[in-house]
Amino acid sequence: MDFRPIAAEDIPQLLEATVDNVNWGGTDRLTVKDVLDNSRLSQYATGFRIDRDWGFAAVEEGKVIGLGWVQFFQEESPGYGFVSSDIPELSINIDKDFRRQGFGTQLLEVIVNHARKKGCTSISLSVEDGNPAIKLYEKFGFRPVSREGNSQTMILSI
């Protein structure tokens, strides 16, 4: 498994990853169009700015099998896991065929280590109740700080 910084050519895949994240339970609750039509959701893909935000692609045998990225949202246009404009919000997605093999753990380690190097003091995220990824986040030390509907915002102090 190799990891490389997200590049401009990866940005279109952020939309696919966002749709997949929303549909984590295996049902297609939202389509690409639904995500693009929802300004709060679409910003996870279309709002990524290579000059401000950052992330990593997990590459296995030349194929991108996962993406993890952080974005600095603003109070006037928050993400679902928004805590503060100086705390980046994490999104992470591993291709379905590669889940439960430790790739998410490895990708999250790369992201957290990079955040430390960049001087970040915390990372936030939003996760829906029942999502098995909660166990991974808790293992890393993410703790719930608030709820919105059936989702919780979690934060990791680093």
What domains appear along the chain, each with residue ranges and CATH number? Answer: 2-117 (3.40.630.30)
* SS3 of residue 3 by DSSP: strand
pLDDT of residue 144: 96
pLDDT of residue 117: 95
Joined tokens for residue 30: 């939202």
Query: pLDDT tens-digit profile of 68-109?
Result: 999 999 999 988 889 999 999 999 998 888 788 888 899 999
pTM above 0.95, yes or no: no
pLDDT of 157 strictly over 80: yes
- How far is CA 22 from each of CA 35, 56, 85, rounded to the nearest angstrom? 9, 20, 23
Query: pLDDT tens-digit profile of 21-56?
Result: 888 876 778 877 888 887 888 888 888 888 888 999
Beta strands in 18-53 (DSSP E): none
Average pLDDT, the chain: 90
pLDDT of residue 33: 85
pLDDT of residue 3: 95
pLDDT of residue 38: 78
Query: pLDDT tens-digit profile of 8-19?
Result: 888 889 988 998
Torsion of CA 136, 138, 139, 142, to 10 degrees: 110
pLDDT of 129 strictly over 80: yes
Q: How confident is the model at residue 114 (pLDDT cuts 50, 70, 90)?
A: very high
The mean pLDDT value for 52-72 works out to 93
